[in-house]
Amino acid sequence: MNPDESHLARAVELARAGSQRGDGGPFGAVIVGADGKVIAEGWNRVVVDHDPSAHAEIVAIRAACAALQVFHLSGVTLYASSEPCPMCLAAACWARIPRLVYANSRTEAAAIGFCDDELYDQLRPDCGQRNIILEHRPLAGSLEPMQAWADDPGRTAY
């Protein structure tokens, strides 16, 4: 196995072990630094943690950021047992992860009930039938904290 395959195989093993324990769905992830060393691992913990955001990739991103005390993971590769859902792909973007490698496709995940295509559709600005009601209610003064942040030279951008 080359390093990519070896890290992917580890992500799949985390998926197997975590889901067998009942922690959550069958998904695993590994984050590897530019030097080839593993920074963090994660697996789906939605059920055991009562956390709908605890997908394997986000669990690994949180662990890697905690280990390095950063909120950007430039230079790493995120290995995932399956193609990321839009929440995890967006989290990887926020974390500035430059490369993501996955083994199972979203079509294969859909075959066991994880319909990411539907969720990707929900996020299209022109989505016709949203499952969630989105209401825009402008509020007097609501822009003030945003402007104060923008005007603060000491702010930390992320």
Q: Is 57 a catalytic residue?
A: yes
Q: Which of residues 110-129 bind its own copies (CB under 8 A)?
A: 111-113, 119-120, 122-125
Q: Are 60 and 42 in contact (CB under 8 A)?
A: yes
- Does residue 41 bind its own copies (CB under 8 A)? no
- Does residue 42 bind its own copies (CB under 8 A)? no
Question: Considering only CA atoms, which of 109, 94, 23, 99 is closest in space to residue 58?
Answer: 94
Residue from 42, 72, 75, 128 in contact with its own copies (CB under 8 A): 72
Q: CB 34 → its own copies: shortest distance, Å?
A: 14
Q: CB 33 → its own copies: shortest distance, Å?
A: 16
Q: In sequence order, what are the residues at sequence separation of 6 or more whose Cβ sits closer than 8 angstroms to the Cβ of residue 145? A: none
Backbone angles phi, psi at 151, to 5 degrees: -85, -5
- Does residue 21 bind its own copies (CB under 8 A)? no
| End-to-end CA separation in angstroms for the chain | 36
Which positions are catalytic?
57
